[in-house]
Structure 1
Amino acid sequence: MRHMTEAAPAKVNLFLHVTGRRGDGYHLLDSLAVFGPAADALSATPAEALSLTLAGPFGATLAAEQDNLVLRAARALAAATGQAPAAALHLEKHLPVASGIGGGSADAAAALRLLNRLWGSGLDADALARIAAPLGADIPVCIASRPARMQGIGEVISAAPALPECGLLLVNPRVPVATPAVFRARQGAFSTPAPLPQAWPDAASMAADLLRLHNDLEAPALLLCPVIAEVLAALRATPGCLLARMSGSGATCFGLFATAAAARAAAENMPRDWWAIGGAPCA
């Protein structure tokens, strides 16, 4: 019996500009997304029906969901390929839920990659992204799980600047934040798309450019979840932190460091009741 596994790395928004709003209410964005250093883990074995079990430190949070996004992704792939939706899926949930790092989207993308292999569907990344798009605007960028620029409502994906060696520290105060509520609380004018270079020579140069940009959802998220300010303050007070910012709609924040080792060491100094992990982003 084949047993296959797939990582579902966190999606981290290094900046996030809200550039407009469509007539249907969806907001237009401009963002640079990178992945890691934390990830969920999805596994699958052949079965006669489709099922999903949950484990891991945040698995119980999803237990009440009647139709997990992983199962919806599995059924979408089966429908697109004429495959019977049958597999025993197991999700080890290591990423906080409703935390601004695309955990659900990453899990759905991992399901599409994993079942594409298990079922021998033979679809390429572009085909998987097309299947993913109706399930959620963040899922297509998670298919490749590599640095990318996201625009439109998240579905317009282009190449990211070449990233230098660096480290990321992710910190979450274990408080969920609802994305729709953050968008409703956002006020003020829309931002312009960001100017980005083709590459950064080092982490300090990248941090200097990113400091001129922002996350337009940080201010409304702070109103709804004030503890985010404490996380940002802790990151900014950490030696070696080149940039501290909230990711996505929060509450997870990240610190940018010159090396993965520095980010891992900084994680050890975060408050023990917070979730914190450091390392290198996915290349």
Structure 2
Amino acid sequence: MLCFPNAKINIGLNVIEKRSDGFHNIETIFYPIPLCDALEITNSNILQDYQFSTTGIPVTIEDHDNIVMKAFQLLKTEFAIPPTAIHLHKNIPFGAGLGGGSADAAFMIKLLNDQYHLKLSESRMEQLAGMLGSDCPFFIQNKAVFAEGKGDIFSKVSIDLSNYFIYLIKPNLPISTPEAYRCITPKYPDKSLRELIQQPIELWKDLIFNDFEDSIFPKHEELRTIKDMLYKNGAIYAAMSGSGSSIYGIFKHKPLPISNFKNHFTWISHL
């Protein structure tokens, strides 16, 4: 059985306060985009337990540390999962703020549920996904949501970007999420993102922001340059996704590739 875990972008991200458990309360919009990995599982009569393999973007961590395998082992604690061959083709870049690993974990739960008829409800799958990461539950339903708390409390949001194009640029620039949070000063926004997202997309540029840009852009001017170039080339809205380092622009018409960024990971698609 084969599935295609997709990435997400953050439209706006307000870091509101630090929690007593060390995490932060945020508000953001998670929006799914059609940049996908591929994940396949098959029953195996020749294995005693499992086999895990990867292709695509190199995966440098040990199998037991891979979040896909953490999802597999999590379900094995509750169900008699038979010997399984697992293959992940990695296409979503790491350290990009796109939720690629979280998507792989959530889709693994859904895939095992379908393959082995586990009869898990969506709410139970979200609960299991939440044990693996704050934004993992989003990818169970995989629909645009307003997210708050640690990014794990969801409510419906009315937003449709299906008539637009996205141009995503990811430089070879690692940004540590813990480091990004250490450098930020939490604050309550003047207006909630839940309200601002209802404004026409043409107004978002002056209304909706990612708080991480204020602390990360001064350290990594290249990211500010990418955002400025997206606007110069016709984006009606551009921002960093999550804690970076991907920068995306939303366009009314399919944009032409920007030659300055040929050495970066770039991706253009209809939303």
TM score, norm. by length of structure 1: 0.86
- The amino acid of 2:268's aligned partner reads G
Q: Is the 8 A contact 1:172 1:231 kept in 2?
A: no
Residue 9 of structure 2 corresponds to residue 15 of structure 1: no
Q: Is the 8 A contact 2:18 2:186 kept in 1?
A: no
The residue that corresponds to 2:213 in the other structure is: 218
Q: Is the 8 A contact 2:175 2:245 kept in 1?
A: yes
In the TM superposition, 1:19-38 aligns within 5 A as 19-38=16-35
The residue that corresponds to 1:75 in the other structure is: 73
**Partners of 1:126 and 1:66 in 2: CA distance:** 26
**Partners of 1:147 and 1:154 in 2: CA distance:** 13
Residue 159 of structure 2 corresponds to residue 159 of structure 1: no
The residue that corresponds to 1:86 in the other structure is: 83
Residue 241 of structure 2 corresponds to residue 247 of structure 1: yes
The residue that corresponds to 2:99 in the other structure is: 102
How many pairs were matched up? Answer: 266
**Partners of 1:197 and 1:179 in 2: CA distance:** 25
Q: How far has the Cα of 1:19 moved from its partner?
A: 1.4
Distance 1:130 1:218, change over 3 A: same
Q: How far has the Cα of 1:63 moved from its partner?
A: 4.2
Unaligned 5+ segments in structure 1 are none
Unaligned 5+ segments in structure 2 are none
- The amino acid of 2:167's aligned partner reads L
Distance 1:220 1:51, change over 3 A: farther
Q: Is the 8 A contact 1:14 1:210 kept in 2?
A: no
Q: How far has the Cα of 1:210 moved from its partner?
A: 5.7
Residue 133 of structure 2 corresponds to residue 139 of structure 1: no
Q: Is the 8 A contact 2:146 2:194 kept in 1?
A: no
The residue that corresponds to 1:51 in the other structure is: 51
Q: How far has the Cα of 1:67 moved from its partner?
A: 1.5
Q: How far has the Cα of 1:5 moved from its partner?
A: 0.9
Structure 1, residues 65-110: CA drift from partner, whole Å, max 9, x if none?
6420000111212323x22363211111111111111111011111
Partner of residue 226 from structure 2, selected from 231, 236, 247 = 231
* RMSD of aligned residue pairs (Cα, Å): 2.1
Q: Is the 8 A contact 2:201 2:236 kept in 1?
A: no
Distance 1:268 1:226, change over 3 A: closer
**Partners of 2:220 and 2:211 in 1: CA distance:** 15
**Partners of 1:157 and 1:27 in 2: CA distance:** 16
Identity of aligned residues (%): 25
